[in-house]
Amino acid sequence: MPMKCVFVLAAALISPLALADVYKCVETDPATGQKRVTYTNARDAKDCERLSRDLPVSSVPGTSTSKVPAASPSSGSFPKVSSDDQRARDSDRRKLLETELATEEAALEAARKALEEADAVRYGNERNYQKKLDRMQPFQDAVAQHERNIEALRKELSNLR
């Protein structure tokens, strides 16, 4: 018990010695113009101000009381598009997506055919089945990529309708 008291008393006597002034320095990067804030205990740092000791310590930035409302897209300066123009744009987009979908489906069929042809062939150095699987992997990846592309295009088309 007396050892704990000695330790607590020593800690209480030493703690004021660890107190130091903290300075906040705001530097501007000349290349980008961005400001960088650093904190230091060096007195000779330039463009620094001493922080008050009675301020609470927080690592969370404070909230600004003067919030600027975000500009709404329906403001007067925002360009308006007529409904006929919008329908024409939607129609063009739909045609483009349908063309891409047809192209992607053709590419998927070609990739599946290449996969089947590669699967039918077995080389002499592929006695180990893993070698065949390694050779087949790029073909399987191509098929999977085309399937994902088709799925994404169909999703985009369903969002238009």
In degrees to the nearest 10, what's the CA dihedral of 84, 89, 93, 94? 0
Other beta carbons within 10 angstroms of residue 33's beta carbon come to: 7
For the chain, give the mean pLDDT: 81
129-160 and 83-120 helices, crossing angle to 10°: 160
Whole-angstrom distance, CA of residue 140 vs CA of residue 99: 24
Give tens-digit pLDDT for 46-68: 778 887 666 666 666 666 666 66
Whole-angstrom distance, CA of residue 59 vs CA of residue 47: 22
Q: Name the least confident of 52-61, 111-120, 123-132.
A: 52-61
Percent of the chain at pLDDT exceeding 90: 31
Q: Report domain extents, the chain.
A: 2-50, 83-160
